[in-house]
Protein backbone atom coordinates (compact mmCIF):
# COMPACT_ATOMS: atom_id res chain seq x y z
CA UNK A 1 0.00 0.00 0.00
CA UNK A 2 1.39 3.39 -0.99
CA UNK A 3 0.47 5.55 1.97
CA UNK A 4 2.24 8.63 0.68
CA UNK A 5 -0.15 8.76 -2.29
CA UNK A 6 -3.23 7.83 -0.28
CA UNK A 7 -2.88 10.35 2.53
CA UNK A 8 -1.55 13.26 0.53
CA UNK A 9 0.12 16.49 1.60
CA UNK A 10 -2.93 17.97 3.31
CA UNK A 11 -3.33 14.99 5.66
CA UNK A 12 0.37 14.90 6.60
CA UNK A 13 0.49 18.68 7.11
CA UNK A 14 -2.56 18.59 9.37
CA UNK A 15 -1.16 15.69 11.39
CA UNK A 16 2.20 17.39 11.92
CA UNK A 17 0.62 20.76 12.78
CA UNK A 18 -1.63 19.11 15.37
CA UNK A 19 1.31 17.29 16.97
CA UNK A 20 3.51 20.38 17.13
CA UNK A 21 0.68 22.43 18.63
CA UNK A 22 0.34 19.79 21.37
CA UNK A 23 4.06 19.69 22.16
CA UNK A 24 3.76 21.92 25.22
CA UNK A 25 0.57 20.30 26.49
CA UNK A 26 1.67 17.63 28.95
CA UNK A 27 -1.39 15.65 30.06
CA UNK A 28 -1.79 14.09 33.45
CA UNK A 29 -1.17 10.44 34.20
CA UNK A 30 -3.57 7.85 32.92
CA UNK A 31 -6.92 7.86 34.74
CA UNK A 32 -7.43 5.30 37.49
CA UNK A 33 -10.60 3.31 38.16
CA UNK A 34 -11.76 0.33 40.17
CA UNK A 35 -11.62 -2.97 38.29
CA UNK A 36 -15.35 -3.49 38.79
CA UNK A 37 -16.22 -0.20 37.10
CA UNK A 38 -14.42 -1.43 33.99
CA UNK A 39 -15.84 -4.95 33.93
CA UNK A 40 -13.25 -6.92 35.94
CA UNK A 41 -13.40 -8.35 39.42
CA UNK A 42 -10.78 -7.32 41.96
CA UNK A 43 -10.67 -10.90 43.21
CA UNK A 44 -9.94 -12.15 39.69
CA UNK A 45 -7.05 -9.72 39.30
CA UNK A 46 -5.81 -10.80 42.71
CA UNK A 47 -5.65 -14.41 41.48
CA UNK A 48 -3.72 -13.24 38.42
CA UNK A 49 -1.19 -11.34 40.53
CA UNK A 50 -0.84 -14.26 42.94
CA UNK A 51 0.00 -16.64 40.10
CA UNK A 52 2.46 -14.24 38.50
CA UNK A 53 4.16 -13.69 41.84
CA UNK A 54 4.32 -17.40 42.59
CA UNK A 55 5.10 -18.90 39.18
CA UNK A 56 7.17 -16.29 37.33
CA UNK A 57 10.73 -15.99 38.46
CA UNK A 58 11.47 -12.29 38.14
CA UNK A 59 8.67 -9.84 37.35
CA UNK A 60 9.40 -6.17 38.08
CA UNK A 61 6.13 -4.39 37.29
CA UNK A 62 2.58 -4.88 36.07
CA UNK A 63 0.05 -2.32 34.85
CA UNK A 64 -3.38 -3.34 33.60
CA UNK A 65 -5.63 -0.98 31.62
CA UNK A 66 -9.27 -1.46 30.65
CA UNK A 67 -11.16 1.11 28.60
CA UNK A 68 -8.23 3.49 29.00
CA UNK A 69 -8.26 3.31 32.82
CA UNK A 70 -5.58 1.79 35.03
CA UNK A 71 -7.38 -0.83 37.09
CA UNK A 72 -4.32 -2.48 38.68
CA UNK A 73 -0.65 -1.56 39.02
CA UNK A 74 2.19 -2.89 41.08
CA UNK A 75 5.98 -2.91 41.31
CA UNK A 76 8.00 -5.62 42.98
CA UNK A 77 10.13 -3.65 45.47
CA UNK A 78 12.73 -2.26 45.12
CA UNK A 79 11.50 -1.50 41.57
CA UNK A 80 9.30 1.58 41.55
CA UNK A 81 6.89 3.52 39.35
CA UNK A 82 9.18 6.49 38.80
CA UNK A 83 12.21 4.49 37.64
CA UNK A 84 12.82 3.79 33.93
CA UNK A 85 13.57 0.26 32.79
CA UNK A 86 15.45 -1.15 29.81
CA UNK A 87 13.02 -2.10 27.02
CA UNK A 88 15.40 -4.14 24.86
CA UNK A 89 13.48 -5.09 21.68
CA UNK A 90 10.28 -3.39 22.76
CA UNK A 91 12.23 -0.37 21.43
CA UNK A 92 11.51 -1.72 17.94
CA UNK A 93 7.80 -0.91 18.14
CA UNK A 94 8.59 2.74 18.86
CA UNK A 95 10.95 2.83 15.87
CA UNK A 96 8.19 1.43 13.68
CA UNK A 97 5.88 4.16 14.96
CA UNK A 98 8.39 6.82 13.95
CA UNK A 99 8.54 5.35 10.45
CA UNK A 100 4.74 5.42 10.29
CA UNK A 101 4.80 9.11 11.10
CA UNK A 102 7.49 9.72 8.51
CA UNK A 103 5.36 7.96 5.89
CA UNK A 104 2.32 9.99 6.97
CA UNK A 105 4.28 13.18 6.40
CA UNK A 106 5.00 12.09 2.84
CA UNK A 107 8.75 11.99 3.40
CA UNK A 108 9.29 8.32 2.59
CA UNK A 109 7.32 5.34 1.30
CA UNK A 110 7.44 1.82 2.68
CA UNK A 111 8.19 0.77 -0.89
CA UNK A 112 11.35 2.85 -1.17
CA UNK A 113 14.50 0.78 -1.80
CA UNK A 114 16.76 0.76 1.25
CA UNK A 115 19.87 1.39 -0.82
CA UNK A 116 18.58 4.74 -2.10
CA UNK A 117 19.07 6.32 1.32
CA UNK A 118 22.78 5.44 1.56
CA UNK A 119 24.16 5.35 -1.99
CA UNK A 120 27.68 5.92 -0.69
CA UNK A 121 27.50 2.69 1.35
CA UNK A 122 26.22 0.35 -1.39
CA UNK A 123 28.88 -2.12 -2.57
CA UNK A 124 29.81 -1.89 -6.23
CA UNK A 125 28.87 -5.56 -6.66
CA UNK A 126 25.54 -5.28 -4.79
CA UNK A 127 23.23 -8.16 -5.59
CA UNK A 128 19.83 -7.80 -7.23
CA UNK A 129 18.28 -8.99 -3.95
CA UNK A 130 19.98 -6.24 -1.98
CA UNK A 131 18.86 -3.61 -4.47
CA UNK A 132 15.31 -5.00 -4.26
CA UNK A 133 15.14 -4.69 -0.46
CA UNK A 134 12.50 -2.13 0.59
CA UNK A 135 11.70 -0.24 3.77
CA UNK A 136 8.76 -2.56 4.33
CA UNK A 137 11.17 -5.53 4.34
CA UNK A 138 13.10 -3.91 7.19
CA UNK A 139 9.84 -3.32 9.07
CA UNK A 140 8.62 -6.90 8.59
CA UNK A 141 12.04 -8.48 9.22
CA UNK A 142 11.92 -10.10 5.79
CA UNK A 143 15.12 -8.66 4.30
CA UNK A 144 16.19 -11.91 2.67
CA UNK A 145 19.23 -12.24 4.92
CA UNK A 146 19.91 -15.50 6.75
CA UNK A 147 20.02 -15.71 10.56
CA UNK A 148 23.69 -16.67 10.65
CA UNK A 149 24.49 -13.55 8.61
CA UNK A 150 22.34 -11.26 10.77
CA UNK A 151 23.91 -12.61 13.96
CA UNK A 152 27.30 -11.38 12.83
CA UNK A 153 26.02 -7.88 13.55
CA UNK A 154 23.32 -8.50 16.15
CA UNK A 155 25.32 -10.15 18.91
CA UNK A 156 28.97 -9.26 18.42
CA UNK A 157 31.06 -6.17 19.02
CA UNK A 158 30.95 -5.34 15.29
CA UNK A 159 29.11 -2.05 15.00
CA UNK A 160 26.04 -2.02 12.77
CA UNK A 161 26.30 0.65 10.07
CA UNK A 162 24.75 0.94 6.60
CA UNK A 163 28.11 -0.25 5.22
CA UNK A 164 28.24 -3.39 7.36
CA UNK A 165 24.53 -4.09 6.84
CA UNK A 166 24.86 -3.91 3.06
CA UNK A 167 27.82 -6.31 3.16
CA UNK A 168 25.65 -9.10 4.58
CA UNK A 169 24.61 -11.69 2.01
CA UNK A 170 20.98 -11.43 0.83
CA UNK A 171 20.46 -15.01 -0.28
CA UNK A 172 16.67 -14.90 -0.48
CA UNK A 173 14.32 -12.59 -2.30
CA UNK A 174 13.28 -9.84 0.15
CA UNK A 175 9.77 -10.36 1.48
CA UNK A 176 9.92 -14.16 1.35
CA UNK A 177 11.72 -15.15 4.58
CA UNK A 178 11.20 -13.96 8.17
CA UNK A 179 14.41 -13.69 10.21
CA UNK A 180 14.47 -11.75 13.47
CA UNK A 181 16.76 -8.89 12.59
CA UNK A 182 17.81 -6.19 15.04
CA UNK A 183 20.23 -4.61 12.52
CA UNK A 184 17.23 -4.10 10.20
CA UNK A 185 15.61 -1.94 12.87
CA UNK A 186 18.83 0.01 13.27
CA UNK A 187 18.62 0.72 9.55
CA UNK A 188 15.14 2.17 10.03
CA UNK A 189 16.58 4.55 12.62
CA UNK A 190 19.44 5.46 10.28
CA UNK A 191 17.01 6.10 7.42
CA UNK A 192 14.90 8.41 9.57
CA UNK A 193 17.98 10.34 10.61
CA UNK A 194 19.24 10.58 7.03
CA UNK A 195 15.86 11.90 5.83
CA UNK A 196 15.08 14.29 8.71
CA UNK A 197 18.48 15.24 10.09
CA UNK A 198 17.11 14.28 13.52
CA UNK A 199 17.60 11.29 15.78
CA UNK A 200 14.62 9.12 16.63
CA UNK A 201 14.47 10.85 20.01
CA UNK A 202 14.49 14.33 18.50
CA UNK A 203 11.90 13.37 15.90
CA UNK A 204 9.52 11.64 18.32
CA UNK A 205 9.69 14.24 21.09
CA UNK A 206 7.09 16.71 19.73
CA UNK A 207 5.13 14.05 17.85
CA UNK A 208 4.78 11.36 20.52
CA UNK A 209 6.68 11.76 23.77
CA UNK A 210 5.37 15.18 24.75
CA UNK A 211 1.76 14.62 23.65
CA UNK A 212 1.68 11.37 25.65
CA UNK A 213 3.25 13.12 28.65
CA UNK A 214 6.19 10.77 29.05
CA UNK A 215 9.00 13.33 28.86
CA UNK A 216 12.07 12.58 26.76
CA UNK A 217 13.34 9.05 27.48
CA UNK A 218 16.92 7.94 27.04
CA UNK A 219 17.73 6.04 23.84
CA UNK A 220 21.25 4.67 23.45
CA UNK A 221 23.17 5.83 20.37
CA UNK A 222 26.03 4.48 18.34
CA UNK A 223 29.31 6.29 17.76
CA UNK A 224 27.80 8.11 14.77
CA UNK A 225 25.03 9.59 16.88
CA UNK A 226 22.27 7.31 15.57
CA UNK A 227 19.73 6.00 18.09
CA UNK A 228 20.06 2.22 18.05
CA UNK A 229 16.42 1.69 17.08
CA UNK A 230 16.20 -2.03 17.74
CA UNK A 231 17.25 -1.73 21.39
CA UNK A 232 18.38 0.91 23.85
CA UNK A 233 15.15 2.69 24.85
CA UNK A 234 14.47 3.15 28.58
CA UNK A 235 10.89 3.80 29.76
CA UNK A 236 8.70 3.76 32.84
CA UNK A 237 5.92 1.17 33.04
CA UNK A 238 3.23 3.83 32.59
CA UNK A 239 5.01 5.10 29.47
CA UNK A 240 4.65 1.62 27.98
CA UNK A 241 0.99 1.52 29.02
CA UNK A 242 0.30 4.85 27.31
CA UNK A 243 1.93 3.59 24.13
CA UNK A 244 -0.26 0.51 24.17
CA UNK A 245 -3.37 2.60 24.80
CA UNK A 246 -2.48 4.86 21.87
CA UNK A 247 -2.38 1.79 19.63
CA UNK A 248 -5.59 0.40 21.12
CA UNK A 249 -7.24 3.71 20.21
CA UNK A 250 -5.83 3.40 16.67
CA UNK A 251 -3.64 6.45 16.98
CA UNK A 252 -6.00 8.82 18.79
CA UNK A 253 -5.06 10.43 22.09
CA UNK A 254 -7.46 12.55 24.14
CA UNK A 255 -9.59 13.19 21.07
CA UNK A 256 -6.64 14.16 18.84
CA UNK A 257 -4.89 12.12 16.22
CA UNK A 258 -1.20 11.39 16.84
CA UNK A 259 -0.78 8.44 14.48
CA UNK A 260 -2.80 7.50 11.37
CA UNK A 261 -5.24 4.67 12.03
CA UNK A 262 -4.19 3.09 8.74
CA UNK A 263 -0.65 2.74 10.02
CA UNK A 264 -1.77 1.17 13.30
CA UNK A 265 -3.81 -1.41 11.38
CA UNK A 266 -0.95 -2.17 9.01
CA UNK A 267 1.79 -2.33 11.64
CA UNK A 268 -0.14 -4.65 13.95
CA UNK A 269 -1.49 -7.04 11.31
CA UNK A 270 0.33 -10.06 9.92
CA UNK A 271 2.95 -8.92 7.39
CA UNK A 272 5.25 -11.94 7.57
CA UNK A 273 4.73 -15.59 8.45
CA UNK A 274 6.98 -16.78 11.27
CA UNK A 275 5.75 -20.30 11.93
CA UNK A 276 2.70 -22.54 12.17
CA UNK A 277 2.46 -23.69 15.79
CA UNK A 278 -0.98 -22.52 16.99
CA UNK A 279 0.15 -22.65 20.63
CA UNK A 280 3.33 -20.59 20.22
CA UNK A 281 3.27 -16.85 20.83
CA UNK A 282 6.12 -16.52 18.33
CA UNK A 283 4.32 -18.31 15.47
CA UNK A 284 1.24 -16.12 15.08
CA UNK A 285 2.67 -13.77 12.45
CA UNK A 286 4.79 -10.63 12.52
CA UNK A 287 3.71 -7.10 11.64
CA UNK A 288 5.85 -4.01 11.36
CA UNK A 289 7.96 -4.52 14.51
CA UNK A 290 4.98 -5.94 16.39
CA UNK A 291 4.25 -9.60 17.16
CA UNK A 292 0.84 -11.12 16.64
CA UNK A 293 -0.41 -13.08 19.68
CA UNK A 294 -2.97 -15.76 20.27
CA UNK A 295 -6.57 -14.71 20.98
CA UNK A 296 -6.48 -11.81 18.52
CA UNK A 297 -4.00 -9.75 20.53
CA UNK A 298 -0.69 -8.21 19.46
CA UNK A 299 2.38 -6.99 21.32
CA UNK A 300 5.71 -5.31 21.32
CA UNK A 301 8.16 -7.18 23.50
CA UNK A 302 11.74 -7.14 24.66
CA UNK A 303 14.21 -9.65 26.04
CA UNK A 304 13.72 -10.99 29.56
CA UNK A 305 10.12 -9.87 29.98
CA UNK A 306 9.36 -6.39 28.65
CA UNK A 307 5.81 -6.41 27.26
CA UNK A 308 3.28 -4.07 25.75
CA UNK A 309 0.28 -6.33 25.05
CA UNK A 310 -2.81 -4.95 23.33
CA UNK A 311 -6.10 -6.87 23.29
CA UNK A 312 -8.30 -4.86 20.90
CA UNK A 313 -11.45 -6.97 21.22
CA UNK A 314 -11.29 -6.71 25.02
CA UNK A 315 -10.24 -2.99 25.10
CA UNK A 316 -7.36 -4.06 27.34
CA UNK A 317 -3.66 -3.14 27.56
CA UNK A 318 -1.03 -4.84 29.69
CA UNK A 319 2.40 -3.33 30.42
CA UNK A 320 5.01 -5.49 32.13
CA UNK A 321 8.71 -5.23 32.89
CA UNK A 322 10.84 -8.04 34.20
CA UNK A 323 13.91 -10.23 34.13
CA UNK A 324 12.21 -13.54 33.33
CA UNK A 325 13.64 -16.67 31.76
CA UNK A 326 10.39 -17.86 30.12
CA UNK A 327 8.48 -15.08 28.39
CA UNK A 328 5.82 -17.45 27.09
CA UNK A 329 4.93 -18.53 30.61
CA UNK A 330 3.95 -14.96 31.49
CA UNK A 331 1.49 -14.80 28.59
CA UNK A 332 0.09 -18.25 29.47
CA UNK A 333 -0.85 -16.97 32.92
CA UNK A 334 -2.38 -13.81 31.45
CA UNK A 335 -4.57 -15.74 29.04
CA UNK A 336 -5.64 -18.24 31.71
CA UNK A 337 -6.42 -15.75 34.47
CA UNK A 338 -7.21 -12.44 32.76
CA UNK A 339 -9.33 -13.31 29.75
CA UNK A 340 -12.04 -15.17 31.70
CA UNK A 341 -12.26 -12.17 34.06
CA UNK A 342 -13.15 -9.63 31.35
CA UNK A 343 -16.81 -8.58 31.13
CA UNK A 344 -18.47 -6.19 28.70
CA UNK A 345 -20.38 -4.26 31.38
CA UNK A 346 -19.46 -2.87 34.79
CA UNK A 347 -19.73 -5.17 37.81
CA UNK A 348 -21.06 -4.49 41.27
CA UNK A 349 -18.37 -2.78 43.36
CA UNK A 350 -16.63 -5.01 45.91
CA UNK A 351 -14.92 -2.74 48.43
CA UNK A 352 -13.40 -5.58 50.46
CA UNK A 353 -11.91 -7.36 47.43
CA UNK A 354 -10.64 -4.06 46.02
CA UNK A 355 -8.95 -3.18 49.31
CA UNK A 356 -7.37 -6.64 49.48
CA UNK A 357 -6.07 -6.25 45.93
CA UNK A 358 -4.59 -2.88 46.83
CA UNK A 359 -2.73 -4.37 49.78
CA UNK A 360 -1.50 -7.24 47.62
CA UNK A 361 -0.16 -4.92 44.92
CA UNK A 362 1.44 -2.57 47.46
CA UNK A 363 3.17 -5.52 49.16
CA UNK A 364 4.90 -7.01 46.12
CA UNK A 365 8.60 -7.52 46.74
CA UNK A 366 11.48 -9.25 45.00
CA UNK A 367 12.63 -12.40 46.80
CA UNK A 368 15.08 -11.65 49.61
CA UNK A 369 18.03 -13.82 50.63
CA UNK A 370 17.02 -16.08 53.50
CA UNK A 371 18.92 -16.54 56.75
CA UNK A 372 19.27 -15.33 60.32
CA UNK A 373 22.35 -17.22 61.49
CA UNK A 374 25.03 -15.66 63.71
CA UNK A 375 28.42 -15.48 61.95
CA UNK A 376 31.41 -16.91 63.78
CA UNK A 377 35.07 -16.87 62.76
CA UNK A 378 38.34 -15.01 63.00
CA UNK A 379 37.68 -13.67 59.47
CA UNK A 380 35.08 -11.24 60.81
CA UNK A 381 36.33 -7.72 60.17
CA UNK A 382 39.27 -8.90 58.07
CA UNK A 383 39.82 -7.41 54.61
CA UNK A 384 40.36 -9.91 51.78
CA UNK A 385 41.78 -9.09 48.36
CA UNK A 386 40.11 -11.06 45.57
CA UNK A 387 41.69 -12.45 42.46
CA UNK A 388 40.65 -10.85 39.16
CA UNK A 389 37.06 -11.63 38.19
CA UNK A 390 34.36 -10.68 35.67
CA UNK A 391 32.32 -8.82 38.29
CA UNK A 392 35.08 -6.35 39.13
CA UNK A 393 35.01 -7.30 42.84
CA UNK A 394 38.40 -6.35 44.26
CA UNK A 395 38.20 -6.48 48.05
CA UNK A 396 35.65 -7.53 50.66
CA UNK A 397 35.44 -7.07 54.42
CA UNK A 398 32.49 -8.36 56.42
CA UNK A 399 31.34 -7.81 59.99
CA UNK A 400 28.28 -9.26 61.67
CA UNK A 401 26.13 -6.41 60.39
CA UNK A 402 27.82 -4.85 57.36
CA UNK A 403 29.61 -5.53 54.09
CA UNK A 404 32.42 -3.37 52.79
CA UNK A 405 33.29 -4.08 49.16
CA UNK A 406 35.45 -2.45 46.55
CA UNK A 407 34.00 -2.99 43.08
CA UNK A 408 35.60 -1.54 39.96
CA UNK A 409 37.53 0.97 42.01
CA UNK A 410 34.62 2.24 44.12
CA UNK A 411 34.03 1.44 47.78
CA UNK A 412 30.58 0.44 49.02
CA UNK A 413 29.13 -0.26 52.47
CA UNK A 414 25.91 -2.25 52.78
CA UNK A 415 24.04 -3.39 55.90
CA UNK A 416 23.25 -7.03 56.60
CA UNK A 417 19.67 -7.18 57.76
CA UNK A 418 16.50 -9.16 57.28
CA UNK A 419 14.26 -6.09 57.04
CA UNK A 420 14.28 -5.78 53.24
CA UNK A 421 16.06 -3.88 50.52
CA UNK A 422 18.65 -1.15 51.08
CA UNK A 423 19.54 1.56 48.61
CA UNK A 424 23.08 0.70 47.51
CA UNK A 425 23.67 3.85 45.49
CA UNK A 426 25.56 3.66 42.21
CA UNK A 427 27.37 0.35 41.71
CA UNK A 428 29.35 -0.07 38.48
CA UNK A 429 27.52 2.91 37.02
CA UNK A 430 23.99 1.79 37.92
CA UNK A 431 21.51 2.64 40.66
CA UNK A 432 21.22 -0.48 42.80
CA UNK A 433 19.58 -1.98 45.86
CA UNK A 434 21.05 -4.71 48.03
CA UNK A 435 19.76 -7.27 50.51
CA UNK A 436 21.92 -9.69 52.51
CA UNK A 437 21.47 -12.43 55.12
CA UNK A 438 23.60 -15.05 56.89
CA UNK A 439 22.67 -18.52 55.62
CA UNK A 440 24.91 -20.12 58.28
CA UNK A 441 27.74 -19.02 60.52
CA UNK A 442 30.22 -18.70 57.64
CA UNK A 443 28.08 -18.15 54.51
CA UNK A 444 26.61 -14.83 53.46
CA UNK A 445 24.00 -14.46 50.71
CA UNK A 446 23.76 -11.14 48.86
CA UNK A 447 21.30 -10.09 46.15
CA UNK A 448 21.91 -6.92 44.17
CA UNK A 449 19.11 -5.40 42.08
CA UNK A 450 20.10 -3.15 39.15
CA UNK A 451 17.11 -0.85 38.76
CA UNK A 452 17.46 0.09 35.10
CA UNK A 453 18.06 -3.42 33.85
CA UNK A 454 16.43 -6.86 33.98
CA UNK A 455 19.47 -8.10 35.88
CA UNK A 456 19.90 -9.16 39.47
CA UNK A 457 23.18 -10.47 40.80
CA UNK A 458 23.13 -13.33 43.31
CA UNK A 459 26.33 -13.45 45.36
CA UNK A 460 27.49 -16.08 47.84
CA UNK A 461 30.40 -15.29 50.18
CA UNK A 462 31.88 -18.32 51.95
CA UNK A 463 34.56 -17.85 54.58
CA UNK A 464 37.09 -20.51 55.42
CA UNK A 465 40.38 -20.68 57.27
CA UNK A 466 42.27 -17.65 55.99
CA UNK A 467 40.35 -17.49 52.72
CA UNK A 468 37.08 -16.32 51.23
CA UNK A 469 35.35 -17.54 48.06
CA UNK A 470 32.98 -15.18 46.28
CA UNK A 471 30.69 -16.64 43.60
CA UNK A 472 28.12 -14.67 41.63
CA UNK A 473 25.55 -15.21 38.90
CA UNK A 474 23.01 -13.00 37.14
CA UNK A 475 19.39 -14.10 36.83
CA UNK A 476 19.39 -13.69 33.02
CA UNK A 477 21.81 -12.64 30.32
CA UNK A 478 22.92 -13.01 26.71
CA UNK A 479 26.44 -14.05 27.68
CA UNK A 480 27.81 -15.99 30.69
CA UNK A 481 27.78 -13.81 33.79
CA UNK A 482 29.05 -16.18 36.45
CA UNK A 483 32.32 -15.76 38.26
CA UNK A 484 34.18 -17.34 41.15
CA UNK A 485 36.98 -15.51 42.96
CA UNK A 486 39.19 -16.57 45.85
CA UNK A 487 40.38 -13.99 48.33
CA UNK A 488 43.16 -14.06 50.90
Phi, psi of 15 (to 5 degrees): -60, -50
Q: Are 63 and 328 in contact (CB under 8 A)?
A: no
Judged against a pLDDT cut of 80, whether residue 20 lies above it is answered with no
Quick one: what percent of the chain has pLDDT higher than 70?
Answer: 94
Residue 19: its pLDDT value, please? 41
Judged against a pLDDT cut of 90, whether residue 335 lies above it is answered with yes
Closest CA to 301 of 63, 86, 81, 52: 86
Distance CA 34, CA 36 (A): 5
Residue 419: its pLDDT value, please? 73
Residue 429: its pLDDT value, please? 83
Residue 62: its pLDDT value, please? 98
Judged against a pLDDT cut of 80, whether residue 11 lies above it is answered with no
Taking residues 326-330, report their average pLDDT. 97
Residue 462 pairs in a beta bridge with 443, 469
Read off the pLDDT of residues 395-429 as tens digits, 9 standing for 90 and up.
999 999 999 999 999 999 999 987 789 999 888 88
Residue 157: its pLDDT value, please? 64
Residue 28: its pLDDT value, please? 60
Judged against a pLDDT cut of 50, whether residue 60 lies above it is answered with yes
Q: Are 424 and 414 in contact (CB under 8 A)?
A: yes
Judged against a pLDDT cut of 60, whether residue 25 lies above it is answered with no
Read off the pLDDT of residues 188-243 as tens digits, 9 standing for 90 and up.
999 999 999 999 999 999 999 999 999 999 999 999 999 999 999 999 999 999 99
User: 3-state secondary structure string, 220-252?
Assistant: CECCCCCECCCCCEEECHHHHHHHHHHHHCCCE
Q: How many CA atoms lie within 13 A of 431 on its CB side?
A: 10
pLDDT band at 312 (very low <50, low <70, confident <90, very high): very high
Q: Give the highest mean pLDDT range of 36-45, 369-378, 426-435.
A: 36-45
Residue 14: its pLDDT value, please? 37
Taking residues 2-9, report their average pLDDT. 36
Provide CB contacts within 8 A for 120, sequence distance 6+: none
Distance CA 322, CA 85 (A): 9
Residue 480: its pLDDT value, please? 75
pLDDT band at 17 (very low <50, low <70, confident <90, very high): very low
Read off the pLDDT of residues 104-133 as tens digits, 9 standing for 90 and up.
999 999 999 999 999 999 999 999 999 999
Judged against a pLDDT cut of 50, whether residue 56 lies above it is answered with yes
Mean pLDDT for the chain overall: 93
Residue 9: its pLDDT value, please? 32
Taking residues 147-160, report their average pLDDT. 83
Taking residues 295-314, report their average pLDDT. 98
* DSSP per-residue letters across 122-154: S-TT--HHHHH-BHHHHHTT-SS--HHHHHHHH
Amino acid sequence: MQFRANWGVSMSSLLLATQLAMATEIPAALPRATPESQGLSSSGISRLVERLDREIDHLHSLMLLRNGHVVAEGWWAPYAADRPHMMYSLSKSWTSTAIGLLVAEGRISIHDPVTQFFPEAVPADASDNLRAMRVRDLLAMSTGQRAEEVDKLAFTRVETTPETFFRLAVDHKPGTLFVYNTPATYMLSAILQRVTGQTLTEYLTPRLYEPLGIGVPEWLRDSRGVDLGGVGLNLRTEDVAKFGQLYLQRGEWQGRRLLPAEWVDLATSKQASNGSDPESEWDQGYGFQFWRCRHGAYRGDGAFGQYCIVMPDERTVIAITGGVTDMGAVMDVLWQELRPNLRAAALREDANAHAALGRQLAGLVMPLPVGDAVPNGDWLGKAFRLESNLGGWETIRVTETAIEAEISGLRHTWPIQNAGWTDAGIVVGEASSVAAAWANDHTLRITRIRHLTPYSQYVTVEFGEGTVVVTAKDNVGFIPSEFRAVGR
